[in-house]
Amino acid sequence: MVREEWEDIASMDFDVIPVLDIKRGQAVHAVAGRRAYYQPLRSILHPTSAPIELARLLRGTLTLRTLYIADLDAIEGGCPQLAFYRRFMDLTPEVWIDAGIRDVLSAAPLLELDRAGITIVVGLETIGGPRELSAVVGRAGAERVVFSLDLDDGQPRMADRDTWATADPFDLSRRAIEQGVSRLLILDLSRVGTGRGVGTEDLMIRIRAAYPAVDVFVGGGISRIEEILRIRHAGSRGVLLGSALHDGRIGRANWLDLPAPVRSIWARRR
């Protein structure tokens, strides 16, 4: 890739967002969305699966400004761990939290946190339907909400199929945007932790073409920095990264090897 092309990619605003999946107080290795089988995370960054230490090292080593926390206990119906979330908020300027939001009532504890730097992730697999999504967006504000289009091998994973009146991923995206969503994450859970690539680039491109004002993020299965650059060039606003950061396939060595303009991927406004 010629230097001019690198500089063109680097000129766009983009986020690389590390993910920590947390279960029973430990960071776990998410693989293919099969949560019953998740094991404590083994990371090259730290000898234990302590989430706070891992978050501190992700911030300090890679200078990434945004962190995604998936509270698996809350997603599966437990209470959100607000004190835990506050500890992450002390470490990094921006925290995305997926705490299994089902409706505006279940979002209330997150809204009571200091809202600066907090983004509420509302997942298709837990939210009751479009009406509930609209209420959360109305209460929190569109700038504090990301709607996660949760897929499983390309098919939607949803709490209540009837309320959406469609199972087509693009139509689901359209309906979410009609409820006031301005940031959308496409996440195929079957690809998480597999290194098989996101598998949703065509859908992302289609949504971006239809709704250019909507920021679209993608996640699941990324294993190489070249994939990040390709996704960025295709118009994504950012990517989620998990396993590839913890096993070293993507890390500071990649960052140091990149031409200076492209390093803005890793260090935006430190």
Average pLDDT, the chain: 80
C-beta neighbour count of 175 within 10 angstroms: 20
Residues 25, 27, 28, 32: is their CA dihedral positive or negative?
positive
- Residue 182's pLDDT is 97
Domain hosting 64: range is 3-262
* Predicted pLDDT of residue 45: 66
Residue 258 lies in a domain: yes
- pTM, whole model, 2 decimals? 0.83
What does the pLDDT look like over 26-74, one tens digit per residue? Answer: 777 556 656 665 666 666 666 666 777 777 877 766 667 788 988 888 8
Tell me if 57 is assigned to some domain. Answer: yes
Question: Looking at the domain assignment, is residue 181 inside a domain?
Answer: yes
Residue-level pLDDT at 226: 81
CATH number, residue 103: 3.20.20.70
pLDDT, tens digit, for every residue of 81-94?
Answer: 888 888 888 888 78
Residue 7 in any domain: the answer is: yes
- Taking a C-beta distance cutoff of 8 angstroms, is the pair 19, 43 a contact? no
Whether 269 shows a pLDDT value over 70: the answer reads no
What integer pLDDT is reported at residue 9 of this predicted model?
Answer: 34
| pLDDT for the residue 20 | 87
Question: How many CA within 13 A on the CB side of residue 5?
Answer: 6
Q: How confident is the model at residue 24 (pLDDT cuts 50, 70, 90)?
A: confident
When pLDDT is averaged across residues 97-118 and rounded to a whole number, the result is 86
Residue 86 covered by a domain: yes
Residue 270 within a domain: no
Indicate whether 236 belongs to any domain: yes
* Per-residue model confidence as pLDDT tens digits over 206-241: 999 999 999 999 988 887 788 888 888 888 999 988
If one counts the domains in the chain, the total is 1
> What is the DSSP code string of 132-174?
HHHHHHHHH-GGGEEEEEEEETTEE--S-HHHHT---HHHHHH
